[in-house]
């Protein structure tokens, strides 16, 4: 909290927020070793047929929903899900009492979590009842569980805690600022690193992008052209021949094989282009 901030000029206040934002970014550094454990466990879970679920309340819950919902169009995968206290209504407005609803959290965990899954709670305080109840139930069902917290907390039933120690907020209690910024970066890192490990990225290109609109079709063509070494006209033709799957189209052109043969090669290489086209 900063005394006198309400008396600052706009330029001074924005500079203050800029410095605060850097503190949120820097908080990720000490958490990287624990984040590595999370990513590796998520990859293991997905390869075993499991999924990754975020759980949060309020701002933390909304960030989880946002990150999980972007995995499908970006990477062509449905292995990330998100639970927010209060349900879909809580995405647009506060649902009073939802973060304290332990019974609802347990019921949801029983319904969606399996023993092959990973559950990741997101809570600035590290003490949100809904989140802890969800994680405890998930652990009892055999899932691996982690908590992302902005406070120093430890829970014996968890596999670990990712501590994003961002310190006091500029506006006391407003965790939508530093804490939420660090959480957003953290979730980005988890989902992106997992997708890279699963072969959803090649040389910085999202080769499993879902070309669901005109803009993404054009992006898919550029990706195919860059990765396979063909012009965009050919890329468009191979995209159609592949059933609108950019990665399959790349293998078809690069290896001069049919769609079926390309799909077989991808299956044999765990979906990774690196082992097929180098």
User: What is the secondary structure of 124-164 as a DSSP string?
Assistant: SSS--HHHHHHHHHHHHTT-EEEEEESS----TTSSEEEE-
**Residues 261, 111: Cα–Cα separation, whole Å:** 39
- The yes-or-no verdict on residue 1 having pLDDT over 60 is no
Q: What is each CA distance from 104 to 14, 87, 98, in whole angstroms?
A: 40, 10, 9
Given the residues 70, 140, 218, 261, select the one marked as catalytic.
70
Q: Specify the pairing of strand 160-163 against strand 144-149.
A: parallel
- 148-187 tens-digit pLDDT: 999 999 999 999 999 999 988 878 878 888 899 999 999 9
Question: Phi-psi region for residue 244, left (φ > 0), alpha (ψ -120 to 50) or beta?
Answer: left
Give the three-state DSSP class for 205: strand
Q: Residue 23 corresponds to which tokens in the numbers above?
A: 């503190």
- 233-254 tens-digit pLDDT: 999 999 999 999 999 999 999 9
User: Cα angle vertex 83, ends 40, 92, to 5°?
Assistant: 130
Query: What domains are there in the chain, each with its CATH number?
Result: 5-197 (3.40.50.10490), 214-277 (1.10.8.1080)
Would residue 99 show up in a list of annotated catalytic residues for this protein? yes
- 107-143 tens-digit pLDDT: 999 999 999 999 999 999 999 999 999 999 999 999 9
Residue 83 DSSP symbol = E
Query: Which is nearest to 186 in space by CA: 74, 64, 90, 84?
Result: 64
**Residues 201, 197: Cα–Cα separation, whole Å:** 8
């Amino acid at each position: 909290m900063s005394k006198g901030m309400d008396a600052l000029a706009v330029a001074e206040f924005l500079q203050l927020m800029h410095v605060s934002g850097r503190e949120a970014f820097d908080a990720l550094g000490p958490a990287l070793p624990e984040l590595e454990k999370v990513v590796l466990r998520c990859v293991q879970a997905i390869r075993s047929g499991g999924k990754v679920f975020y759980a949060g309340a309020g701002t933390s819950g909304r960030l989880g929903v946002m990150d999980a919902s972007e995995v499908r169009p970006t990477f062509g995968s449905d292995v990330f899900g998100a639970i927010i206290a209060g349900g879909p209504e809580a995405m647009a407005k506060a649902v009073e009492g939802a973060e304290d609803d332990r019974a609802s959290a347990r019921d949801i965990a029983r319904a969606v979590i399996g023993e092959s899954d990973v559950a990741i709670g997101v809570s600035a305080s590290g003490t949100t009842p809904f989140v802890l109840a969800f994680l405890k139930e998930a652990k009892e069902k055999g899932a691996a569980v982690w908590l992302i917290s902005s406070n120093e907390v430890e829970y014996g039933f968890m596999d670990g805690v990712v501590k994003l120690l961002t310190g006091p907020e500029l506006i006391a209690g407003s965790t939508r600022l530093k804490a939420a910024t660090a959480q957003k970066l953290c979730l980005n890192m988890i989902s992106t690193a997992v997708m890279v490990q699963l072969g959803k990225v090649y040389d910085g290109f999202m080769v499993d992008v879902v070309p669901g609109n005109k803009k993404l079709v054009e992006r898919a063509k550029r990706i195919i052209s860059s990765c396979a070494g063909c012009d965009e006209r050919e890329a468009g033709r191979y995209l159609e021949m592949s059933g609108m799957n950019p990665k399959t189209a790349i293998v078809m052109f690069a290896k001069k094989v049919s769609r079926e043969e390309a799909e077989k090669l991808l299956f044999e290489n765990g979906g990774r282009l690196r082992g097929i086209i180098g």
